[in-house]
Amino acid sequence: MTQNQHTKPRKSAKTVTTKVLVKRALKKGFKSKPPPGKKYLKNLEIGSIFKVGLLTGILISITPTAAKVLIIDSKHHESDDNYYLGKQSIGLESEITEANL
């Protein structure tokens, strides 16, 4: 009588490679760069003027998770100005363009 040999299922190269890449990425951390001509909001100095989308604002303060800004100009429809203008909280990694007045 012959016994069946128990063999381990082979891991595919794709699975092994994916696991190695994931471990390496978690170890090194995620680093991103803004596109050319743009900056992250977290890299501005307090009091700097910036543009993001159709809005122009001034950086007031930075917290660990967000930036407090004062939106001073909106290119949206006039009826929407009450929503956009004033003090807002925006994510630190928002891609902005530095502006001069």
Sort residue 3 into left (φ over 0), alpha (ψ -120 to 50) or beta.
beta
Over residues 66-92, the pLDDT tens digits come to 999 999 999 999 999 899 999 999 999
Over residues 35-72, the pLDDT tens digits come to 999 999 999 999 999 999 999 999 999 999 899 999 99
Q: Report the pLDDT averaged over residues 15-28.
A: 82
pTM over 0.75: no
Q: Give the per-residue pLDDT at 100.
A: 82
Beta bridge partners of 73: 56
Sorted by where each begins, the domain ranges of the chain are 40-98
